[in-house]
Structure 1
Amino acid sequence: MIERIETGTRMSKIVKHNGVAYLCGQVGDGETVAEQTRDCLSRVEGLLETAGSSPERMLQAVIWLADMADFDEMNSVWDAWVPAGYAPARACCEARLARSDLKVEIIVTAAC
């Protein structure tokens, strides 16, 4: 069974299938990459809770940065947020994001 949560015309915020939650990409508010990452991860955590999951149950994270020069700043927030011993498989790449003010976007897959 496939369950779609907060579905709109273009996408669902969460799609659950066979005990796995797939979250849509999350961006955050703020001027710096650290502020945006903190806000983004807060949104991820809220979606994980809605899906019946948590950061400890993350399987994979894909992180897009508008500029890889922000890698260390983003990681300082990420490392403080991920529960010790529960780091997911992860990729981080540079990409042009949907708006010029965005610095980071995070996509998470987690067990429910």
Structure 2
Amino acid sequence: MALQRLRTETRYSEIVIHNGTVYLAGQLADDYNADASEQTRQTLANIDLMLSEAGTDKSRILSVTIYLKDMARDYASLNQVWDAWVAPGTAPARAAVEAKMYRPDVLVEMSVIAALP
């Protein structure tokens, strides 16, 4: 299978597809003024959009790495939104880490690997 890069910019591609696997660049919310719950909802909506563009969906996610600005403050609210988003029986492998973000108002970022149908 050929390597595909979608939404390519100077430094990265939003979507890379190779050998039946979809790799998403770190996904963010659209509104950085929102709280962690809303940033999580927006980030997951952007993941849905990117996966659809790549030809797959959230039920085929293999792995997610979640970066939180403040784990102690935001982990519970992230999980509440996450649990409502993930369909039963389709939970991917997942890691969540606290990270210094590229902007002080970014609270959540997620990197995703998914399979094509």
The reply to whether TM is greater than 0.5 is yes
Matches within 5 A, 1:13-92: 13-28=14-29, 29=31, 30-69=33-72, 70-92=74-96
User: 1:31, 1:18 → 2: CA distance?
Assistant: 37
> Structure 1 segments of 4 or more deviating over 6 A?
none
Residue 4 of structure 2 corresponds to: 3
Instruction: Tell me the number of residue pairs that the alignment of Structure 1 and Structure 2 aligns.
Output: 112
Residue 84 (structure 1) shift: 0.8
Residue 31 (structure 1) shift: 1.9
User: 1:8, 1:106 → 2: CA distance?
Assistant: 18
Residue 113 of structure 2 corresponds to: 109
User: 2:25, 2:112 → 1: CA distance?
Assistant: 8
User: 2:38, 2:92 → 1: CA distance?
Assistant: 22
User: 1:98, 1:26 → 2: CA distance?
Assistant: 13
User: What RMSD over aligned residues (CA atoms) do the two structures have, in Å?
Assistant: 0.7
The AA in structure 2 aligned to 1:98 is Y
User: 1:5, 1:19 → 2: CA distance?
Assistant: 15
Structure 1 residue matching 2:100: 3-state secondary structure: coil
Residue 67 (structure 1) shift: 0.4
Residue 106 (structure 1) shift: 0.6
Structure 2 residue matching 1:24: 3-state secondary structure: strand
Identity fraction in percent: 47
User: 1:57, 1:26 → 2: CA distance?
Assistant: 17
Structure 1 residue matching 2:26: 3-state secondary structure: coil
Structure 1 residue matching 2:112: 3-state secondary structure: strand
